[in-house]
Structure 1
Amino acid sequence: MCAKDEAQDAEGLRDDPVLNRVGQDAPGDKLPSERTLSSELDIGRTALRQVLAQLANERFINAHDRSTCRVSGGSGVPTPSDLPAWQIHGSRRIYENRWVNLDLVDVEPPCVERFEHHVVRLHHVAITAVVDDQNRVLMLWRYRFVPQQWGWELPGGIVDAGEDPAATAARETEEETGWRPAKVEHVVTYQPMIGMVDSPHGIFVARGATHVGEPTDAEEAGHVAWVPLDEIPGLMSEGKLMSSGTIVALLQPLSPRPTAARQAVPHAGDTAWTPCGSPPALPSEGGFAPGPTRRVQGGPGIGRSALPRWLARTMGRYC
């Protein structure tokens, strides 16, 4: 099965001494030229370019021009450190109940007179994208009365007092869908309306789930379905993904990442093979026949000294 193949390949790669150096070499290193790599690895330019193109597509390296590639993560984004912050002089609550609180906060922005700003304070919530081995995501088709609209959402809900948000993510998924997710992993916590609303949204992902029964949360349950990830961009463009939490959570399984299925070099004479969820093999170039589509795993931080050996090992392993 695809999931088993992926786990076996990942286990073998973790034991490799070169890949264990990932992150130890300085990000931002400039890679050797195509001519140098081709000579060191004793491979043709076409094969090398296909591997480098895939590494760039998976964001392991950045192509600055036709002849210069660097390992991702070297420059980063500079963060200004000398800008003044808003001053907060006090806060008073003007409305309070179990679900929502409303405060007036006495603030003073730089170079602006003090004024009172409304702040809505809501609960911390957790949202989960559960993806199965067929690259489908667990979703609910729901009606929301505020926008008076039907749409697809991911399961999620309020983090109870003292509860671990990861536990909330798993609990809410099971209550709303009847599927118990495998281990949930935290991706990011963000604020959806940061200018006026305080409502931390914790985003989690899980790979696989077990069906344990019918949904138990009648208020939040909707039509439960496994939606192919390939359909998500279309649903987004049609306006059928309503909540920001759903959209943010779906960015992670939709984006390239080191644990996703990868491509390697097509090899002359091999039979084309594509594992579940992988893109098709790269097209032939200069008579180079299409071959197997396999995973190449690694990550940002592969330095100049490690990359040639990593490429050599990768092509030796899969070609």
Structure 2
Amino acid sequence: MSELEEKTIRSKNIFEGRIIRVQLDEVELPNGNISTRELVKHPGAVAIMAITEEDKMVFVRQYRKPLEKTILELPAGKLEPGENPAVCATRELEEETGYRADGINHVVSVYTSPGFADELLHLYEVQGLVQGVYHPDADEFVETVELTLEKAFQRMEAGEICDAKTVTALHIWKNRKVDRK
């Protein structure tokens, strides 16, 4: 145990939902004091950077209840128990956008909010987009939007693109374009 670790004394599940579980942990701090931690347990997720042959990134426009607004974001979805993230990314891309991809590459995996949640998001890039059949989940209402890098940054500056996964993907896309020059 490092000098910064907190030792869990006890854990109590306080909520179990369809997507998350919330747990309250009592912990011993490195200085010996006792404190509590509210933790969100999440099965993990994927997000997909899909760039068309016209050099446009594919986004979905979706209402997000926690924000009480509609935003543009990468196609993404929750992992099912034991599901391979690349398989999930392929499925979510087609469900949300109708696109299928010829190839898929892992870009990076990041913890979305490590101060209170254990969600690990796997970001993938796909190649060779082919229009398939759009079939979102029954409770999912999305619109597909394709934007150039410049237009996407304008939408980000306007606050329409505002989630961490999508902002991260835009910067990766921009850096890759700069590196190719």
TM-score when scaled to structure 2?
A: 0.88
How far apart, CA to CA, are the structure 1 residues paired with 2:102 and 2:141? 20
- Structure 2's unaligned 5+ residue stretches are none
- In structure 2, the CA distance between the partners of 1:220 and 1:254, relative to structure 1 (3 Å rule), is farther
Taking only aligned residues, the RMSD between alpha carbons, in angstroms, comes to 2.1
Aligned-partner residue type, residue 261 of structure 1: R
- Cα deviation per residue 1:255-304 (whole Å; 9 max; x = unaligned)? 1379x532xxxxxxxxxxxxxxxxxxxxxxxxxxxxxxxxxxxxxxxxxx
Does residue 84 in structure 1 map to residue 4 in structure 2?
Answer: yes
Aligned-partner residue type, residue 168 of structure 2: V
Does residue 161 in structure 1 map to residue 81 in structure 2?
Answer: yes
Q: Secondary structure at the match of 1:213?
A: coil
Give yes or no for contact 2:59–2:73 (8 Å, CA) kept in 1.
yes
Does residue 171 in structure 1 map to residue 91 in structure 2?
Answer: yes
Alignment match, 1:298: none
Using the TM superposition, give the Cα deviation of residue 133 of structure 1 relative to its aligned residue in structure 2, in angstroms. Answer: 2.7
Does residue 120 in structure 1 map to residue 30 in structure 2?
Answer: no
- Structure 1's unaligned 5+ residue stretches are 1-81, 263-319
Fraction of identical pairs, as percent? 24
- In structure 2, the CA distance between the partners of 1:253 and 1:208, relative to structure 1 (3 Å rule), is farther
How far apart, CA to CA, are the structure 2 residues paired with 1:197 and 1:110? 21
Using the TM superposition, give the Cα deviation of residue 219 of structure 1 relative to its aligned residue in structure 2, in angstroms. Answer: 2.9
Question: Number of paired residues?
Answer: 180
Give yes or no for contact 1:191–1:199 (8 Å, CA) kept in 2.
yes
Using the TM superposition, give the Cα deviation of residue 131 of structure 1 relative to its aligned residue in structure 2, in angstroms. Answer: 0.8
Match of 2:22 among 91, 102, 107: 102
Alignment match, 2:137: 217
Alignment match, 2:180: 261
How far apart, CA to CA, are the structure 2 residues paired with 1:195 and 1:97? 20
Does residue 240 in structure 1 map to residue 146 in structure 2?
Answer: no
How far apart, CA to CA, are the structure 1 residues paired with 2:87 and 2:123? 12
Match of 1:194 among 114, 135, 149: 114
- Cα deviation per residue 1:31-67 (whole Å; 9 max; x = unaligned)? xxxxxxxxxxxxxxxxxxxxxxxxxxxxxxxxxxxxx
Does residue 180 in structure 1 map to residue 107 in structure 2?
Answer: no
Alignment match, 1:205: 125
Give yes or no for contact 2:40–2:116 (8 Å, CA) kept in 1.
yes
How far apart, CA to CA, are the structure 2 residues paired with 1:161 and 1:99? 11
Using the TM superposition, give the Cα deviation of residue 112 of structure 1 relative to its aligned residue in structure 2, in angstroms. Answer: 5.3
From the two aligned structures, give the one with the greater strand fraction.
2
How far apart, CA to CA, are the structure 2 residues paired with 1:83 and 1:113? 14
Does residue 227 in structure 1 map to residue 147 in structure 2?
Answer: yes
- In structure 2, the CA distance between the partners of 1:148 and 1:140, relative to structure 1 (3 Å rule), is same
Report which stretch shifted further, 189-198 or 217-226.
217-226
Q: Secondary structure at the match of 2:135?
A: coil
Give yes or no for contact 1:177–1:221 (8 Å, CA) kept in 2.
no
Q: Secondary structure at the match of 1:151?
A: strand
Using the TM superposition, give the Cα deviation of residue 83 of structure 1 relative to its aligned residue in structure 2, in angstroms. Answer: 5.0
- In structure 2, the CA distance between the partners of 1:116 and 1:147, relative to structure 1 (3 Å rule), is same
How far apart, CA to CA, are the structure 2 residues paired with 1:94 and 1:149? 28
Using the TM superposition, give the Cα deviation of residue 145 of structure 1 relative to its aligned residue in structure 2, in angstroms. Answer: 2.2
TM-score when scaled to structure 1?
A: 0.52
How far apart, CA to CA, are the structure 2 residues paired with 1:201 and 1:239? 22
From the two aligned structures, give the one with the greater helix fraction.
1
How far apart, CA to CA, are the structure 1 residues paired with 2:4 and 2:143? 49
Aligned-partner residue type, residue 25 of structure 2: V
- In structure 2, the CA distance between the partners of 1:160 and 1:255, relative to structure 1 (3 Å rule), is same
How far apart, CA to CA, are the structure 1 residues paired with 2:25 and 2:79? 25
Does residue 138 in structure 1 map to residue 58 in structure 2?
Answer: yes
